[in-house]
Amino acid sequence: MGETTEANHTPGSETFEDLVADFRPQLVTYGRSIDPRGAEDAVQDAFEALRKRQDRPPPVENPRGYLVRIVQRAQRRPLLLARFLPPPAAVTDHYRDPDLAKALAKLPDRQRDCLALRYGQDQKLADIAELLGITEGSVKQHIARGLATLRTRLETHDA
C-alpha cells in the first residue's frame, strides 16, 4: 500500500479502502483545523457520500478533492450559521406574540432556520441555500412547509 500523499497521488489509482486508510487521518486533521468540533463526523459523512457517489455516473475524477470539499463545507457550515442565524430561543423570543413564538419553537430546525433567515434576516433564497448547504428549491420547500405549519397551528389556536 505504501505512503500516498497528495503530490504522488493519481486520481482513481487506489481502492476505496486504501483511500480511507491513507487519507482519513489527513482529512480529520484538516477538519479539525477549521473547527475542532465534529471533524470525525464530517469525515465519516464525506466518505459515506463518496461511497454513494461512486455507484452512479459520472465517476468522481478526484476523490480526495471531493472529500476535502465535503469536509470543508460541513465544518464551515456551523460557523457560518452561528454568525448569521440567531439561536432558536432568540428567534422565538423576538416575537411579541407568544403563540407565534411557541409555534416557531415547534418547527423542525431546517424550517425554522429558513424562515428566520428569509424573514428575520431578509436573506435571498440563493444565499440561504448556500449557507445551509441545500438547493434553492429545498429552501422554498422548507419555507412553504414552515409557513403552512404556522398557519395551521395559529388558526387552530385562535379557534
Q: Is 116 a domain residue?
A: yes
Range with the poorest average pLDDT among 37-41, 111-115, 128-132, 154-158:
154-158
Give the burial class of 5: count Cβ atoms within 10 A of its Cβ; 0-12 exposed, 13-18 middle, 19 or more buried: exposed
**Residue 89 sits in the same domain as residue 149:** yes
125 in Cβ contact with 74 (< 8 Å): no
- The three cell numbers locating residue 130: 448556500
For residues 148-155, give the mean pLDDT.
88
d(C-alpha 62, C-alpha 138), whole Å: 27
- What values do phi and psi take at 59, rounded to 5? -70, 155
Asked whether the whole model's pTM tops 0.85, one would answer no
44-55 as b/e: b if 16+ CB within 10 A: eebbeebeeeee
Host domain of residue 56: 16-82
**Residue 91 sits in the same domain as residue 63:** no
Q: What contacts 27, CB < 8 A, 6 or more positions away?
A: 43, 46, 67, 68, 71
**Residue 71 sits in the same domain as residue 134:** no
pLDDT at 142: 95
> Is residue 159's pLDDT more than 60?
no
Instruction: Decide which of 61, 82, 103 is a domain's last residue.
Output: 82
**Residue 34 sits in the same domain as residue 62:** yes
**Residue 153 sits in the same domain as residue 92:** yes
Q: How confident is the model at residue 81 (pLDDT cuts 50, 70, 90)?
A: low
For residues 141-146, give the mean pLDDT.
95
pLDDT at 89: 54
**Residue 120 sits in the same domain as residue 146:** yes
39-78 pLDDT, tens digit per residue, is 888 899 889 989 888 778 787 888 888 888 888 877 777 6
Q: Count how many domains the chain has.
A: 2
